[in-house]
Structure 1
Amino acid sequence: MPKLVIIGAGSAVFTQGLIMDLIATQGGEPWELGLVDINGEALDTIAVLAQKMVAGKRAPITIAASTDRKEILPGADFVVSTIGVGGRRAWEADVFVPRAYGIYQPVGDTVMPGGISRAMRMIPALVDIANDIHDLCPSAYFFNYANPMASNCTAIRRATPVPVVGLCHGVHDSLRSLAGELGVPFDDLTAGAVGINHLTFVYQLRAAGRDLMPELRSSIARRRVRGIDRDRIGALAWTDGGEEINPFSWSLFETLGAYPVPGDRHVTEFFADVFPGGDYYGKRLGVDAFPFEPVIESGDRKYAQMTELARSGAPLDDSFFGRFTGEHEQLLSIIDSIRTDARRIYSVNVPNGSAYSNLPAGAVLELPALAGANGIMALPFDNFPDTIAPVIRRHLDIIDLTVEAALTGDRRLMVEAILAGGYERDRSRVSAMVDELLAVHAEHLPQFA
């Protein structure tokens, strides 16, 4: 019986969606599902809800839950991390502290000071998890969904022997969106897409062998001709169901010949110098362009809804089981491809190796990889455009500084990582901001004690 363990299972949406996928795809095969979260209240909530889900569909899934992962990890075949050290309150500090210094972040979980600060909390916890996997279930596959993806996976690979694989739905969802825009079936689409998680460049796009890049260029040109709805610029399309507008990504495509995904909300953070003071087409990033606070409020609301469903004595109605899309969607397909040696291709975050010779061999890149019985292997197409490689290499250097700062507890390297990004060029202001971030997160930063 295969065993899947979710660490950070108290996530309001991910775990529910993954359990739904498992119920829908396991085909009557018994599974063990282990749920782990250090927040006992969140763990109890998701464990009760998981049991209700399994009972509602009479699925042969056995569930165990514990705040101690060492009780759950033995015998695991697949381990998934969705942890968020400090939760949404810590995430708020990653955005609000830099905002006080004039640095505006729409997300704050990947790069910029918020992403760097987040890495300081996440990396020690993930390294500890990886070491426990190595000791207690060394043959298990370890999948990480926690951000900042590239920094986290680089640190795990550097500090432990565990070959973690990073997963994100950004490329998958963006390709689906592009297929819709171009009027082609998503299943016919193939792409060359390489970069750093949240800055991955689609440099080849085909449907049934037909080159779609000229059609994408024409589609964007038509959008510009008919005009852009200013009210939609910076809107959170995934919350209101409206049209997604990515004028900066369009501009990069027109300049570089490759389309950056997953859209301006993330991509702009890699080009902070283009948006001084957060100025984004007449709006301010994280405030009225891709506003940050509603994202936090949505997470709090979804957690409250999960708690209410778990505490209700009523069984789940059928409408509940059709709700979930998101990060979890590809995981069970990847697991199936490994177990059946189907050798399907996915976008994953793994070391480059020799796949792309114009990017560092040891760098964790988001790239196409094959999932089969021999594991997950980067596909060595070696055709990433030389014109874009310097953009990626610049951010890989910042990631290296970030990882070393987190692993060693070196405050000076954290300062240097922020300065290297050009988010703020005054060293004294960066130093003060770092001190403030380290102070507000002190309980989660044992390496800086």
Structure 2
Amino acid sequence: MGKVHLNLCVGGIYLFKIVFIGSGSALFFKKLLVDILSVTEFQDAEISLVDVNNDRLQISVKIANAVISQKGNKAKLEYTTKRREVLQNADYVVCMIKIGGYDVTKIDYDIPFKYGIFQTMTDTCGIGAISRALRTIPEVLNICRDICDICPDAYFFNYTNPMSMICSALEKSMPSLKVFGLCHSVQHTAKQFSKYLDIPETDITYWVAGINHMSWYLSLRYKGENLYPKLISFMNNEWDGIIPSKTRNGYNDRVRFDVLRRTGYFVTESSPHMSELFPYILKRKNIMEEYGILHGQHLLNLENQIKGYNKLILEINNGNIGSLDSDGFEYLTYIIQAIELGRKTTCNINVYNNGLIGNLPLDCCVEVPCLIDSEGIHPCKIGNLPSHLAAMNMSVINLQQLAVEAILTGNRDRVYHAVMMDPNVSSVLTLDEVWKMTDELLEAHRERILACFRK
């Protein structure tokens, strides 16, 4: 399907052009497009959809047409399976690809499990995340080579995991590209604070820095007052009495509250994520049960996503596109508003460190507050993190840096060295077992990771 399909709507000059790569991720694509076209000034934008799976692409085209129709019928829509055909004149490129579906992801769980390794999310740290990076980063590099060739001034916004490894690989190999990684964990956790403490989310302010899925609320305030004493009181007087397998307000946060108890700071990503980023929870099943943590949590999430996608297809085929109201949750629209319309904002974004956090490596990817205005995106300098928080970040960064080196240089040995650094693997396996497990996983994915080792 090489031909670019155009949907020419009412309007002449389009304000900006945004390309969604991996737009077949229909549920998330719908959310982002609704956000963008809910901004009145953006209703005449140029929207380009790209996905290698034409069936999934067509579902997203139906969604896009419905959203455009409801939001003023002014936007221009084009779609294709060949990304180079729509990158010309792009101002923004959004990456939301997934390399390998449920069955491929299950391999990342099943083989390590044979060796006694439990995993939850496999999207940040650990052997599952390394495997995902080996499959994903070569394709993201190909995408960004096309961007550098066709629309080198475009902003590249990455939503794909493993976030830090992808952004780090791009920053090391294509330093001129404007790479920014967008996640949801900072604002999602702020919403959780409002539920835990029964206070309005709009009155909560914070200063957060660290690495993706392991950033720290260095400052947390409610109407200017330090919120940590109330959060700690909640933890001591209410949270500890809850049965581990149960949740409050839909969340199971026993791991994160225990981290707060031990470190004095709350971390940005969920307890299932955090349990994978340090070596104390996943080493034995009884500990996982105590904390309410499930092996294979991401697989359960994928099963629910598949059900949601199939439900969406049925609804679309019955003429029901669902809600087209924006919840204003994702950063993307606020960033574009700041750049295009001068509506200044602050968002936590994944960027190249380069001294922003003084006690983390210069060449790693960090997540820091960024000021955004009509001149662009301006990361804020943090200084040093508290030393114990930086040390915890470093245990993850070491693994990520080695995995990125393996991919960029084709050095297969660095894959094994990265797995050695996994906090959970190193707390359970011998070196010989690490090598055998890694051998088996690499062989299982051999055809999918050839691009990493052809150098």
The TM-score with structure 2 as length reference comes to 0.89
Deviation, 1:273, is 4.2
Pair 1:244 & 2:251 matched: yes
**Structure 1 residue 15: deviation in Å?**
0.6
Q: Aligned to 1:321, which of 310, 320, 324?
A: 324
- For residues 292 and 30 of structure 1, the distance between their equivalents in structure 2, rounded to whole angstroms, comes to 37
Letter in 2 for 1:386: S
SS of the aligned residue for 2:142 comes to helix
What CA distance in whole angstroms lies between the structure 1 residues aligned with 2:91 and 2:239?
A: 49
SS at match of 1:104: coil
* Pick aligned residue for 2:44 from 22, 30, 43: 30
Corresponding residue for 1:361? 362
- Asked if the contact 1:349/1:364 (under 8 Å) is kept, the reply is yes
Shift of 1:308: 2.6
Q: Which moved more, 1:163-172 or 1:267-276?
A: 267-276
Aligned to 1:371: 372
Q: For residue 3 of structure 2, what is the aligned residue in structure 1?
A: none
Aligned counterpart in structure 2 of residue 257 of structure 1, from 240, 264, 279: 264
Where 1:272 maps in the other structure, the secondary structure is: coil
Tell me if structure 2 keeps the 8 A contact 1:103–1:277.
Answer: no
Match of 1:307 in 2: 313
Q: Is the 8 A contact 2:120 2:273 kept in 1?
A: yes
The amino acid that maps onto 1:358 is N
Cα drift, residue 194 of structure 1? 1.2
Name the CA shift for 1:117/1:28 in 2 (closer, same or farther; >3 Å): closer
Shift of 1:25: 1.6
| Candidates 179, 190, 207, aligned match of 2:194 | 179
Other structure's SS at 2:36 match = helix
The one-letter amino acid of 1:144's match is: N
8 Å contact 1:155–1:403 — kept in the other structure? yes
The answer for the alignment partner of 1:21 in structure 2 is 35
C-alpha contact 2:35 2:327 (8 A) present in aligned 1: no
1:297-325 C-alpha deviation (Å, 9 max, x unpaired): 11211222233344x2x5336x5324x76
* Aligned equivalent of 1:197, options 208, 212, 217: 212
Amino acid at match of 2:452: Q
Is 1:81 equivalent to 2:95 in the alignment? yes
Paired residue for 1:338?
339
Q: Secondary structure at the match of 1:85?
A: coil
- The code of the aligned residue for 2:306 comes to D
Structure 2 residue aligned with 1:403: 404
Which residue in 1 is equivalent to 2:274?
A: 267
Deviation at 1:60, TM superposition (A): 1.5
Write out per-residue CA displacement over residues 388-434 of structure 1, whole angstroms, 9 at most, x where no aligned residue.
11111222111110101122332211111111124333223222222
Paired with 2:199 and 2:181, the residues of 1 have a C-alpha distance of: 28
Q: Does 1:132 align with 2:146?
A: yes
Percent identity of paired positions between Structure 1 and Structure 2: 30
Q: 1:155 to 1:20 in 2, by over 3 A?
A: same
State the Cα distance separating 1:58 from its structure 2 match: 4.0
Structure 2 CA distance for partners of 1:121 and 1:246, relative to 1, 3 Å: same
CA–CA distance in 1 between the matches of 2:51 and 2:218? 39
1:436 pairs with one of 420, 435, 440: 440
- Point out where structure 1 has 5 or more consecutive residues left out of the alignment: none
Please give the residue correspondences for 1:140-151 in structure 2 after superposition, counting only pairs within 5 Å: 140-151=154-165
State the match for 2:135 in structure 1.
121
Cα RMSD of the aligned pairs, angstroms, is: 2.2
Q: Secondary structure at the match of 1:276?
A: coil
Could you say which residue in structure 1 is the equivalent of 2:7? none
Paired position in structure 1 for 2:185 = 170
